[in-house]
Structure 1
């Protein structure tokens, strides 16, 4: 049961992190380029360089946000269970 709760909390944190990363991506894109971020980078009307740059930026920020959320969730779950983060991470991954 605890393993299920840990997985649910970790998944929830990853979803929230992805939402925050998307907002951060949009803000960063607007700051750097001065224009709104592409709504659909797959659209052939969008320049290939712009689509690639946006994909790289958004992928990096989403990956970073998810990693940080997973690390923090693991620490919190370990602290709540009185275990080390390594022990909690091993149980969540099994």
Structure 2
């Protein structure tokens, strides 16, 4: 049951949170700049600074949310189902060394 819970919360929750964050950031970008999100880097109408700014804002925003959701999911799964239900890469270093 723990492995299924990890798939739902850890993987699915992270993906949903990333999509929602990207959508929220796009809305804030459009309202604050009065321009569409620069999605096509080859568009001559989009300056390099604008494209880089969007890349940084969206990249950092999504990365922070993914990290936060994944850590929360791992903590929840660990407390309810035990350490062994997490993927090996998510276990503490000591647990990975013992296996």
**Normalising by the residue count of structure 2, what TM-score does the alignment of the two structures yield?**
0.70
Q: What SS does the aligned partner of 2:41 have? A: coil
Deviation at 1:14, TM superposition (A): 1.7
Unaligned 5+ runs, structure 1: none
Query: 1:41: which partner in 2?
Result: 40
Which structure 2 residue ranges, 5 or more long, are not aligned? Answer: 90-99
Runs of 4+ aligned residues of structure 1 deviating over 6 Å after TM superposition are: none
With the length of structure 1 as denominator, give the TM-score of the two structures.
0.73
Distance 1:78 1:30 in 2: 39
Judging changes above 3 Å, is the alpha-carbon distance between structure 1 residues 80 and 7 closer, same or farther for their aligned structure 2 residues? closer
Q: How many pairs were matched up?
A: 87
Q: Larger RCO: Structure 1 or Structure 2 (Cα < 8 Å, ≥ 6 residues apart)?
A: 2
